[in-house]
Structure 1
Amino acid sequence: MRFTYAEAMTDPSYYAPLAKAAEAAGYTSFSVADSLIYPKESDTTYPYTDDGNREFLEDKEFIEIFTLIAALGAVTERIRFTPFVLKLPVRPPALVAKQAMSIAALNGGRLGLGVGLSPWPEDFATMGVPWARRGKRMDEAMDILRGLFTGEYFEYHGEFYDMPAIKMCPAPPEPIPLLVGGHSDAALRRSVVRGDGWMHAGGDPEELDAMLAKLTAIREQEGKAGEPFEVHVISLDAYTPDGVKRLEDKGVTDAIVGFRWPYIKGSDTEPLQTKIDNLERFAEDVIAKAGS
């Protein structure tokens, strides 16, 4: 089992010391959250809170995701960074490819590119991208990333994107895994058909078990049951060595852990040292024992 430390919507000055502390404590990855704008008015509900309320996001300080990863990569040596998740279809895929490839070249390939759909129509409107057929747009964007990541000439002719034969350099030192976030059946299938793994956003344990079963079935249907596939989950089981074993038995490869409830209005008041103490305590109590 590998472990990802998750922290978001906190003081931006905390990220560098937290990344260094997580690396020293033995975490494999550090998750980085993506947010572009906060609309003054919206009828959309947030899909990952019980009541759908989005007000906790107002006035939260989100550093542009690739800028933050570049900064954190410069002060670390081993830990991987995983967007959780990048809102892909609102961005030009060729630009995302260039950003991701540049990050991978600078930090030695320490990037797992989590991608997903934004739940906010306002993100699409602000970026000048139609909301309609966003799933198909996402599929095409992933195909383009996959092609450009090779560093070889690649051309694409789709419904939304049309590209002549082009290449981008430098190519990443190793393939950048595409990890699909989302709980819908379409997201699960996309993670298998076009991705290298799936990222879970939390919720009911029984729902997680059902989604893991669907993933297994889709992988079998697509003839990919024996291929490497990353499964990143948020689960209370991740907080004990016995629970970690249960997750491993279900095919989970990466546990995402955090130590505070982030969906609160207002600023994060937890001190930096408390955060470091919490991640180090978990490493001693669970990571060290899970690996023994």
Structure 2
Amino acid sequence: MQFWSGATFLDTTDVLPLAQMLDEAGFDGMVTSDHMIYPRQLQSTYPDSGSGTPPWAPETAWPDAWVLTGAMAAVTTRLRFSNAVYIAPARPLLEVAKQVATAAVLSGGRVTLAAGVGWMREEYALMGQDFSTRGKRLDEMIPALRALWRGGWVSWHGEHYQVPEMMIEPHPPGPVPIFCGGESEAALRRAARLCDGWVGYAYRWDDAVGYAHRLTELRREYGRLDEPFDILLALMEPPSVDLYRRAQDAGITSVMVAPWMGAQHGDSPGVERFRKPVELFAQNIIAKLGC
């Protein structure tokens, strides 16, 4: 079982020292989230809210995922980095290829791209990308990125992307794992058919296991059951060694945790308020699991 934390909704300046704490405590990774803007006139419907409105304020900070990843990689030695999730089809293919490849090189291969299609039409419009074809373009972007990351003279010729023979350097030191996010049947099938893993959100136990079982079914359907596959999600259950053992038995390979949520921070100032909860989680959970 791997243990990851997230940078979402944290003060941007707290992220780097927190990444160092997690690295030193024995956590496995940290995820970034992704939004470019919050439009004054938001017309898109947020899918995970009954009101259709996002639960965060317009002024919430969403630092660039790959700038943040590069910065975290520079102050850590073993922590891995991924996304929950990165809206890759809202960007041009070559931009995604260059950003991820650069982060992979600077981190010594400690990055995973976890992509999703997103929900905010306004972001796509501002980036000049087609919102209506975002799923089909992500389906093509995944193998295209793998081709462009090989190094040397590379090219891609598909339905949505045309890349003439070229060099795009630096290229990753090894294969970059690609995960997909999203709970729709199309998203689950994309992950099972094309990806190295799937990223979910926060779930009660039965829902989490349900997604894990469905992904197993789909991987069997696509003939990929014998290939390595990661499932990264958060569990809305009290943390315990037994919980994470059961999760691992259910096929969940990684969990996102925030030990500082609801913890008593005492008089610790600033980012130091995270240290005690992080260290206690490492002692009481990670060490006992032998992770």
1:285 is aligned to: 284
Q: How does 1:86-125 map to 2 (within 5 A)?
A: 86-125=86-125
- Shift in CA distance, 253/230, structure 1 to aligned 2, threshold 3 Å: same
1:265 is aligned to: none
1:266 is aligned to: none
Q: Report deviation, 1:42.
A: 2.0
> Structure 2: how far apart are the matches of 1:121 and 1:147?
28
1:189 is aligned to: 189
Q: Report deviation, 1:210.
A: 2.1
2:229 is aligned to: 229
CA contact (8 A) 1:6 1:32 kept: yes
Structure 2 segments unaligned to the other structure (5+ residues):
263-268
- Shift in CA distance, 290/48, structure 1 to aligned 2, threshold 3 Å: farther
> Structure 2: how far apart are the matches of 1:8 and 1:75?
19
- Shift in CA distance, 20/88, structure 1 to aligned 2, threshold 3 Å: same
Instruction: Provide the secondary structure at the position in 1 that maps to 2:159.
Output: coil
Q: Report deviation, 1:65.
A: 1.3
- Shift in CA distance, 91/207, structure 1 to aligned 2, threshold 3 Å: same
> Structure 2: how far apart are the matches of 1:90 and 1:149?
19
> Structure 2: how far apart are the matches of 1:54 and 1:30?
23
> TM-score, normalised to structure 2's length?
0.91
The alignment-based identity, stated in percent, is: 33
- AA in 2 matched with 1:197: G
> Structure 2: how far apart are the matches of 1:237 and 1:55?
21
Q: How does 1:36-185 map to 2 (within 5 A)?
A: 36-49=36-49, 51-185=51-185
Structure 1 segments unaligned to the other structure (5+ residues):
263-269
> Structure 2: how far apart are the matches of 1:55 and 1:212?
27
2:27 is aligned to: 27
Instruction: Provide the secondary structure at the position in 2 that maps to 1:202.
Output: strand
> TM-score, normalised to structure 1's length?
0.91
Q: Which runs of 4+ in 1 moved over 6 A?
A: none
Instruction: Provide the secondary structure at the position in 1 that maps to 2:111.
Output: coil
> Structure 2: how far apart are the matches of 1:125 and 1:186?
23
- Shift in CA distance, 152/123, structure 1 to aligned 2, threshold 3 Å: same
